[in-house]
Amino acid sequence: MPTHIQSIDVGFGDCDPGGIVYYPNFFRWFDASTHAMFAAVGESFEKSRREHGWTVWPLVDAGATFHVPARPNERIEIHSTIVKWTRATFRIEHRALRDATLLAEGWEIRCIGAPHPDDPRRLRAIPIPDALRRLLPESAPPCDRPRAGAGRAQTRRAPENRGRQ
């Protein structure tokens, strides 16, 4: 399952006074798509917490680029792909599309959190189990992506450590 696709019906309440989607909603939809992707392979938030004791997938870093607005009564899709696993984190890239038009691109870096042994109110990142990696193998996003208004364009990737140069 290299890419998870989540459909979203944009509602009036998702929009700002200008009649376009208020940008934090894209982050909300990216988050929902991440959780749905894991649930689709049998690793729901509830199961992971109950069976493994994880505080699953806390966000470590995130970003987005917005290209074209979305409006009420439109159906959009969030395409989510795990593009990189490290020892203790993973990177998910998201594309928000309306038909073939790219509306926004986003990314998240997440970890698997477990209670810190010295203070259960704190989290610590733990090594990602191979079994989880096998459920959602790393895959590269498409080389060409739909762009606003015209054809296809070359992939642009956000830097791995944005702002840490």
pLDDT confidence band for 19 (50 / 70 / 90): very high
| Tens-place pLDDT, residues 22-48 | 999 999 999 999 999 988 988 887 887
CA atoms within 13 A on the CB side of 146: 15
116 near 122, Cβ under 8 Å?
yes
- Sort strands 119-126 and 144-146 into parallel, antiparallel or unpaired: unpaired
For the record, the structure tokens of 96 come out as 């928000």
56: Cα separation from own chain's centroid: 14
DSSP for 126-137?
Answer: EPPPHHHHHHS-
How many beta carbons lie within 10 A of that of residue 37, not counting itself? 22
Rounded Cα distance, 125 and 135, in Å: 19
Rounded Cα distance, 77 and 103, in Å: 10
| Tens-place pLDDT, residues 61-99 | 999 999 999 999 999 999 999 999 999 999 999 999 999
Contacts of 33 (CB under 8 A, 6+ apart): 4, 6, 78, 80, 94
In the prediction, which pLDDT does 150 show?
Answer: 34
The mean-pLDDT minimum among 49-63, 69-83, 126-140, 147-161 falls in: 147-161
With pLDDT > 70 as the criterion, what percentage of the chain qualifies? 83
DSSP state of 101: E
CA atoms within 13 A on the CB side of 82: 22
72: Cα separation from own chain's centroid: 22
DSSP state of 162: T
Does 12 have pLDDT greater than 50?
Answer: yes
In the prediction, which pLDDT does 46 show?
Answer: 81
* pTM score of the predicted model: 0.80
pLDDT confidence band for 141 (50 / 70 / 90): low
